[in-house]
Amino acid sequence: MNKQPYVPSVDLVDLLLDAICVVDKQGCFVFVSAACERIFGYTPEEMLGRNMIELVFPEDRARTLQAASEIMAGTSKPSFENRYVRKDGQIVHIMWSARWSADDQLRIAVAHDISERKHSETMQAALYAISEAAHLAKDLPGLFKKVHSILGELLPAINFSVALYDEQNDQLDFPYHIDEQHQAPAPHKRDAPTLSAEIIRSGQTLLRSAETLATLPKHVQSIDCSSLYWLGVPLTSHNGTIGALVVQSYTHGERYTDKDKELLQFVSTQVASSIERQQMLTRLQFMAQYDALTHLPNRALLHDRMHTALARAHRVQTQLSVLFLDLDKFKQVNDTFGHATGDLLLQMVANRLKQCIRESDTVARLGGDEFVILIEDFHSPDHALLIAEKIRVALNQPFELDGQSHTILPSIGVAFYPQHGDDAQQLLNHADNAMYIAKKNGGNCFQVTLEPNSR
């Protein structure tokens, strides 16, 4: 007995996890299975009669129409991928297996949702890129810009900020801030009523939106926030919370999910590690080049700048001058009032010296109470002598320390390039000798070196 072939019912088709879509020559849906609602968010009734291209992600429409033309010409497409826009605005990635039925003049296709796979692939690639960027970053601004670019491929991140907290000065700054509506917030304290400061205080991830507002503490609910969706995660190191990564959205179509929170939390661990490395390198570089007490360039950095300045002066035929400065009777301050007072005095002297020169010039501390001033790019020796006198007058003003007035007078030696030497050590030696002559003459004056050019 011959059995009749089994013909599946529509109800059975509707049990399939993949969606079956049938469109006519004009591209309009004439049949969709129940799975379409799970994948695309529209009921079958909402899809029937609608042109399929309207649901395709705009950037994918041209190649989708090209693929449709090829299918209707007889080319089978067993694994064509494109993106659709769900009814709720989310993007779904679809793999299509499609062919053309010449007898029915219909295009028949099966849609398989590969969004999870695509998301995992994109996440893996992006996280690797972020990890690589964090380890290879030469500076923090470059790292923040790269991370912003990568995050923009994974979640709504047009508006992205990095907040860093300086615990020593109790100050929260925003070294990276891209926002379509607002400029970077002004630096503020940890106890300020801002969402970024709340993350620093709590060390916890914070997602603020209309949906989550009621679940947040009362003091967080009252913090002013102009964005519809605000997501911030802490940057955590072994020293505690050092900052925060923040994304925010001003449109209903760009909201944040738990997956976005997890992603941003992973990114924050990579960024926090990189920030710590960069800060450590900055500290080491500072220690190698700057005086710890006055924060002025030290001997090594002074020599580097002098070599660069001499090469420039030789190339453009200008002069430069070196002023060697010693504080008369500074030892008496240390012996009488203690080293703490002496250190404070040196810091105040350093500040006054910096106020006497241009930004292009250099004040360095060699050690003890010895300072060197490098003056560049002038054509008359009078310029350097005027600065020497300006320094003398500035240091003649009393220093108020611990309620007491102290007067410290300078002895200054002056040497010029090219008159007194054509390398750094020659100029420093001549300026040093001139300083001792000034000191022997009673101090509180400057002396131009009397040594002839020894070249």
Instruction: Find the CATH number of the domain harbouring 96.
Output: 3.30.450.20
Q: Is residue 369 in some structural domain?
A: yes
- Say yes or no: 164 and 198 in one domain: yes
223 φ, ψ to 5°? -70, 135
- Say yes or no: 265 and 413 in one domain: no
What's the number of domains the chain is made of? Answer: 3
User: Which of 60, 89, 113 delimits the end of a domain?
Assistant: 113
- Tell me, what's the pLDDT at 159? 95
What CATH number should be reported for the domain holding residue 401? Answer: 3.30.70.270
The type of residue at 189 is K
- Tell me, what's the pLDDT at 455? 40
Rounded distance, CA 233 to CA 246, Å?
A: 7
User: Which of 234, 262, 287 delimits the end of a domain?
Assistant: 287
14-35: b or e for each residue (b if 16 or more CB lie within 10 Å)? beeebbbbbbbeebbbebbbbb
CB atoms under 10 Å from CB of 102, counted, come to 9
- Say yes or no: 283 and 310 in one domain: no
- Say yes or no: 196 and 271 in one domain: yes
User: Which of 113, 143, 176 delimits the end of a domain?
Assistant: 113
- Tell me, what's the pLDDT at 250? 92
Give the DSSP H or E segment for 208. Answer: strand 206-208
Give the DSSP H or E segment for 137. Answer: none
Which among 314, 274, 296, 322 is positioned nearest to 435, based on CA atoms?
322
Residue 270 corresponds to which tokens in the numbers above?
């990579």
Which among 206, 270, 205 is positioned nearest to 237, based on CA atoms?
270
- Tell me, what's the pLDDT at 12? 63
Dihedral sign for Cα atoms in the order 10, 16, 19, 25: negative
How long is the chain?
455
Per-residue confidence in pLDDT tens, the chain, 455 aa: 556 665 556 566 666 789 999 999 999 999 999 999 999 999 999 999 999 999 999 999 999 999 999 999 999 889 999 999 999 888 899 999 999 999 999 999 999 999 989 878 877 887 788 878 877 877 888 889 988 998 888 888 999 999 999 998 999 999 999 999 999 999 999 999 999 999 999 999 999 998 899 999 999 999 999 899 999 999 998 888 999 999 999 988 788 888 888 888 888 888 888 888 887 888 888 889 999 999 999 999 999 999 999 999 999 888 899 999 999 888 888 878 888 889 999 999 999 999 999 999 999 999 999 999 999 988 788 999 999 999 999 999 999 887 888 888 999 999 999 999 989 999 999 999 999 999 999 999 999 987 554 44
Instruction: Report the SS3 class of residue 51.
Output: strand
Q: Is residue 170 in some structural domain?
A: yes
- Tell me, what's the pLDDT at 245? 94
Domain that holds residue 47: 15-113
291-303: b or e for each residue (b if 16 or more CB lie within 10 Å)? beebebbbbebbe
- Say yes or no: 279 and 148 in one domain: yes
Q: Is residue 455 in some structural domain?
A: no
Instruction: Specify the pairing of strand 29-32 against strand 19-23.
Output: antiparallel
376 φ, ψ to 5°? -115, 165
- Say yes or no: 208 and 123 in one domain: yes
Q: Is residue 379 in some structural domain?
A: yes
- Say yes or no: 274 and 347 in one domain: no
Q: Is residue 334 in some structural domain?
A: yes
Quote the DSSP letter at residue 451.
P
- Say yes or no: 425 and 316 in one domain: yes
- Say yes or no: 92 and 159 in one domain: no
- Say yes or no: 177 and 80 in one domain: no
Contacts of 229 (CB under 8 A, 6+ apart): 156, 207, 208, 209, 248, 249, 254, 255, 256
pTM of the model: 0.59
Rounded distance, CA 330 to CA 346, Å?
A: 9
Rounded distance, CA 227 to CA 250, Å?
A: 5
Q: Is residue 177 in some structural domain?
A: yes
